[in-house]
Chain A
Amino acid sequence: MWKLAVSLAFALSFATLAIATGADARAKPDGATLTIRSYPKGVYGYLGGTSTTCGEKRKILVFEAQGERRDPRSDPRVAHGLTGSGPAPYQWSATSRRSGPLYAQAPATGRCAAVLSGVAEAPPLEVPGEEDPAGYPSCGSYASESTSQICRLEQIYLDLDAEGPANWCRWGPASGNCPGVGYGPFPWGTSVNFHPKVRMYWSWNGWARNLAVVTYPGEEAGGYPSATLVGTVPDSTSNRFTVIEGYAQNEGAYPSGDRFYTPNLPGQGPGEVGGPLDLSVVNGDWAHSGAEVWIRGYLYLYR
């Protein structure tokens, strides 16, 4: 009998040791998924398909893939981040200047198995004012006087604020809206003398997964907009922003101005000509209770 007890104790202690030292191999995969995507400050993504325990406040490590296969044991670690609080999927972000290829790993914890993401390549940095490599004119207020039905929407950056201490700006599965300031091409992100007030609205009610970015000409968000981007996004983890109604005001009163859309042509990805706009929304943290948004791509002119 004592032999059995000793064996059991030995086995238990061995198991405990194994969990402590080799959790990767022992933790049971729980169907979690980890995504990674480049954005102008680095990379971000979502940890989904997992419990609150394994999803919230989870450490995420970012590696630069050196070989054909991802290997966190040998690839250099270049950044790290932390997932936010729920509801799922849990967003994480990490600042990095590496151009990649990068991938992320949520290392195993006592109860949660390790999860590895796919590989992300950083898109080439967009230089404001630089001519479009595809040769399209930049989108603006007088696109209809141009000679092209297609225009390039240079990168728009929205710095969104929280409504107040009790009403944080949180992009996620819940509907919401946030005020903020826009930066980027006129008239969406730049007014004639200051960066305009903007408000971003989103709702996930039924099939209509709507997103609207509304730019106001004045120093306060209100009244008629000077520019809009209104459309749909499949879900809060997607970067595919299909524009149904883009608007850029000219010198006439609202709604005088050009109107735009994205046709979503087959095979065209976000940010490509004919594809949806490329959308990146990264939530803030305790220090910054708002969110940051980047939008870029190509618009077609309604005729």
Chain B
Amino acid sequence: MKAHKLLIPLVVALACVGIGVAGTSAASPHEQASRRHRRAKKLRIDSLVVAGKTGPLSITVRAGIRSQVVATVDGRRVDHPFELAGRRAQSLELATSDGLRAGPNKLRITAREDGVVSRATRVVHVPAWALDADAGEDTHTIAHVPTRVGLRPSPRAGGGGEVHYDWRIVDRPPGAKVTLRERDVARPVLHARQPGRYLLQQTADPEGDGEPSSHDRVTVSVVPEDPPIGVPLNTLDAQEDNAIRIAGKSYGGGSGVISYVVLERTTRAVVASGTVANGYDSSGIETLIGLAEKYGSGGNYMRYMMILSGATGIPNQKLADFATLLKKVGTALPSQEEFEAVRTRRPFSVIGIPGAPAGAATTRIPDGPASGAIVGYLTKNQAIDAEGTPLYDFSPGEQPTFDTRLPDSDSTTNKMRIDGQTYSATLLPGATAGLHVVVLESTTLGLLSNEAIATNGLGHDRTTQAEAATKLLGAIKKSDDPTVFVQTIGKPKAAGPEWAGVVEALGRLGANRQLVNALDGTTEYALVAREGATAPPAESSTAYDHGPYPAPHRPPARLVGTLARDRTSSFVPDVYSTPTEASPEGSVNLELMTIAYQPAEAWPELAPGFDRDEVAAAQRYICEELNFCRPTNSCPSVRECFWQRYYADWDAKLAKIGNLTYPKGKGFEEDAFTEVKGELLKEIEAVANVKNYLKELQQPFESGTRSYVDLKAISDKIWQSLQQPAQSNSTSWILGLVGKAVAIGGFAGPPVSGAAAGLAAAFGLASYLSNKQGQPILGAEVRAKSDALAGEMLDRIDAARKTMNGLGMLIVSDHGKLMAAYRHVDSDWALPSPEVADNTLRTASKQWFWEALIPTAFPYLIRADSDNARNLTCNDLGSDRHAWPNQPDFFQMDATVGYRENGTPIDAVFFFTRGLGGAMSPSAQIGDEMFRPRTGTADPGLGMEKLQFFTPRVFNRRIYHALNFTHLCWLGFLPREW
């Protein structure tokens, strides 16, 4: 820089009030509705710096992690995202490449959080000289790979002339050896050997006097050379004195201590590790709280992972501090049993994110003799990133499969297979029906109980069923919160009031009580559940509502699917289906799930029998012809490029390698070339096909394509039909959408079932990976205002879609996985035409949105001792005496709620409403689209089963009882309107 050129950054730190501008774009019905209830909000701009050290224009706005913030510059959308800059701040750096020009630039910033939109606009004057520096977008590279950073210089707006560049490394990992070559050009080469975060600054120094220099910074995250599956993690390695072991390296360990590791989520670089004392009089936990606060606040927010483990619990005196520490790293509230376990010196492990919202951390606190170690992989999650770099996430890499009724079961013996183990149980001689119950410890799947519990045929059925209830409860209580598998043997028939004990026991597991009460000698039932889980149980039943519609043909009750570990390390049902005649193996692609985590298999040797140097030269030649194996920003071999350059156009690569001819004089003979090319061509063909298969699976939910399943439009239409403008919260199980898709696909059979099965497998593998907030992407409930539900759902699905790229990388990185998947993609995994797949998913989406939105408009599920809601007689109601005179028949359901002593069923009517009174019932105009059968009618509906819809799980987890002939039917506390 010339001496007379002073560095004159024009810093404009604006006051914090933004200028709100009301939106003028076309609004959805949801948005129109919400506008009636809310005023437009202003987005607060915390700071706005022009020509500072970090770039031409830096903006920080007041927006938390749940806010999605986007910006436009003179109407052009900035395509790189705002970055988190603290718990309540997000920041963005703008440069020429974002459309920034010399002179006035109109910035428009929009933040959306739970459907609430806030905006700010600013006109910012940027001097021409400030635009000279443009270091480009933050990026990432692999350690030891020379990487060119920065952007090609472009003539700046309003200026021109030569610009001298100078680069320097502002920050690097402690002790890191790094070289920055060609520092005086616009695009220097960074060669970093150690993983970590490197901050580079470009200074642009224009020719000519009187113009100051400008600066821009870029962060390069240098990641280790990890395969797509990630690196092994064991949080409490007994072989290493209970140390935390990551990628073969131990941290901490010992007894009477808590081991800890803090690592960058972008690069896996360990920034702190060791042990703290765990005595009742030590301040070890306070030290860890300090670390969690340091790495969870300001610019560190959500950028670090903190791993904690201890082999000997926590002293009673320190439990409150321990609870505080758990909160600081995003742990959901532990259960009483978990606190008791650590208090009684049981081992524990936590993988958390300092500062993250509750639910982000994975814990393992066994209350029995099971290990406290969390074992799995630290893997790159392609759905989330910081500074353009995918973030490391924990993945257990386990998807145990289950089948509750193997084909060789018979009328008295049932066989289940869970995680490769077969559990068989036979009813006592004489028994004609019962329940096969397998109870497993939820973190290890160790057997606690396997028995066939008779319900009928042993003489006095009521006595048998009273005993069955006791046995069932005893089996479930063998451990705290076990994972339980139940399958009917024969067709149990409830005989009297004692059946309520069976209902109660299964109800503890989250079972739908109506389905258990429907076991009247004509139906079957299966259940997979974990007591205390937020995840809904997997259920299958042949029971149906005997309403006005024709009897459906339900397949035999049976559940086939996979389990996944939730954030407490317990196995819960993940994705599952009931096999049908059309899809006898079930409708979840279990093979894809198995292949993803099957043992690694080495690549076969290229051209065995040929000279190794020749083979290497041939491979190198092919690699370079495919535009890989370059000096910078590249991958080192064709096979490594499969996953390191997964986003490349592999169809084009396939065509290119197919057209390659033998070149003379390159250091290899033609035979060797032909051999190498043949093998690589085969593998590239597999890569292209597997990638295309996964891409097609994503297509239905991909925006901007022809086959887009428009969740927003579906949601809007349903909300509009509910004629309910008030906004209300909705709580829905996201993975339920996949469940509905596989159910529909299962009835249709191949190839329709193929799309749902593939999607279910891919989403099932991704379900417990994290989203931006650290929460499970799909394996969780989504809570959102009615108008924000579709957006939230789209975000989750979009994140799940992105993880499919990670799944693709995982498959193509390993020869065994690649070839196993390739063998299927064009045969039994073949996908239907996009239109057919879309129809399935569109129907499933409608079902899901009806289920999610109905309770926001009609929050009260009522069970009444009457044959029809319209006939309920409510005392003291005035002349009419009928509280729900307008409740349409199709929004009611009759179901069995118990049994009398003589064995006859007690029936009740179920219905939903906004309160008490004629105006509180849903309008008949909404129609019965939900419940009309999907087939066999001129006007097909969605075919939703009432027995599974009129449940507390759908209606905000609550049910109310209305009592005939009582004061206001015992529901006088509900809102009233006639």
Binding site for B on A (CB under 8 A): 129-131, 135-138, 140-142, 144-149, 186, 190-193, 250-251, 263, 265-268, 273-274, 303
Contacts and interface: CB of A to CB of B under 8 A. Distances in A.
Given A192-B971, A265-B333, A142 B960 contact: yes
A40 B322 CA distance: 31
Contacts of B966: 192
A191 B972 CA distance: 7
Interface of B: 319-324, 326-327, 333-334, 336, 339, 507-508, 510, 513, 532, 536, 728-729, 731, 781, 783, 876, 952-953, 956-961, 963, 966-968, 970-973, 975
12 contacts: A131-B783, A137-B956, A144-B507, A146-B959, A192-B966, A193-B876, A250-B961, A251-B961, A263-B336, A265-B323, A267-B321, A268-B333
Contacts of B972: 191-193
A140 B508 contact: no
B959 A142 contact: yes
B957 A131 contact: no
Contact of A141 (B508, B728, B783, B961): B961
Contacts of B783: 131, 135
Nearest to A263: B336
Given A145-B952, A267-B327, A192 B958 contact: no
A186 B327 CA distance: 32
Nearest to B969: A192
A114 B973 CA distance: 48
B320 A266 contact: yes
A303 B322 contact: no
Contacts of A273: 333
Nearest to A272: B333
Contacts of A263: 336
Contacts of A148: 957
B952 A265 contact: no
Contacts of A147: 510, 536, 952-953, 957
B962 to A, nearest CB: 10
A186 B319 CA distance: 35
A192 B961 CA distance: 12
Contacts of B957: 136-137, 146-148
B300 to A, nearest CB: 23
B320 A267 contact: yes
Contacts of B319: 266-267
Nearest to B951: A147
Contacts of A142: 958-961
Given A135-B731, A192-B971, A146 B963 contact: no
Q: Please provide the 5 A-B residue pairs with the shortest distance between their CB atoms, ordered closest to farther.
A: A267-B323, A192-B972, A137-B957, A266-B319, A131-B729
Contacts of A250: 961
B970 A192 contact: yes
Contacts of B334: 265
A153 B971 CA distance: 18
A94 to B, nearest CB: 31
Nearest to A139: B958
Given A251-B963, A265-B336, A267-B327, A138 B958 contact: yes
A10 to B, nearest CB: 55
Contacts of A191: 972-973
A236 B729 CA distance: 37
A129 B729 CA distance: 11
Contacts of A135: 731, 781, 783
A268 B319 CA distance: 11
A301 B333 CA distance: 16
A64 B323 CA distance: 31
Given A144-B507, A268-B323, A303-B508, 16 more contacts: A131-B956, A135-B731, A137-B952, A140-B960, A142-B961, A145-B507, A146-B952, A147-B957, A191-B972, A192-B970, A192-B973, A251-B961, A251-B970, A265-B323, A267-B327, A273-B333
Contacts, number: 83
A146 B960 CA distance: 10
B286 to A, nearest CB: 14
**Which among A130, A193, A265, A266 has the highest number of chain B CB atoms within 10 Å?**
A266
Given A186-B973, A265-B334, A193 B323 contact: no
**Which among B320, B959, B975 has the highest number of chain A CB atoms within 10 Å?**
B959
Contact of A192 (B320, B536, B953, B968): B968
Contacts of B960: 140, 142
A141 B960 CA distance: 8
A136 B98 CA distance: 44
A263 B973 CA distance: 29
Nearest to A131: B729
Nearest to B358: A134
B967 A192 contact: yes
A71 to B, nearest CB: 23
Nearest to A265: B339
B585 to A, nearest CB: 30
Contacts of B510: 147
Nearest to A298: B333
**Which among A130, A131, A144 has the highest number of chain B CB atoms within 10 Å?**
A131
A274 B327 CA distance: 13
B339 to A, nearest CB: 6
A276 B322 CA distance: 18
Contacts of B971: 192
A303 B959 CA distance: 18
Contact of B731 (A131, A192, A268): A131
A186 B596 CA distance: 51
A240 B404 CA distance: 47
Contacts of B731: 131, 135
Contacts of A141: 961
A273 B958 CA distance: 18
Nearest to B960: A142
Contacts of B327: 267
A268 B323 CA distance: 8
A15 B548 CA distance: 95
B949 to A, nearest CB: 15
Nearest to A136: B957
Contacts of A268: 323, 333
Contacts of A265: 323, 333-334, 336, 339
Contacts of A146: 952, 957-959
Contacts of B321: 267
Nearest to B952: A146
A274 B510 CA distance: 21
A251 B966 CA distance: 10
Contacts of A140: 958, 960
B532 A137 contact: no
Given A137-B956, A266-B322, A274 B970 contact: no
A273 B781 CA distance: 18
B295 to A, nearest CB: 20
A145 B963 CA distance: 17
Nearest to B510: A147
**Which among A142, A145, A146 has the highest number of chain B CB atoms within 10 Å?**
A145
A140 B971 CA distance: 12
A193 B508 contact: no
A191 B968 CA distance: 11
A232 B368 CA distance: 31
A191 B971 CA distance: 9
Contacts of A186: 973
Contacts of A149: 532
Contacts of B323: 265-268
A142 B513 CA distance: 13
A212 to B, nearest CB: 23
A273 B783 CA distance: 18
A209 B384 CA distance: 52
A138 B333 CA distance: 18
B461 to A, nearest CB: 25
A192 B972 CA distance: 4
Contacts of B953: 147
Nearest to A149: B532
Contact of B958 (A137, A274, A303): A137
A190 B731 CA distance: 26
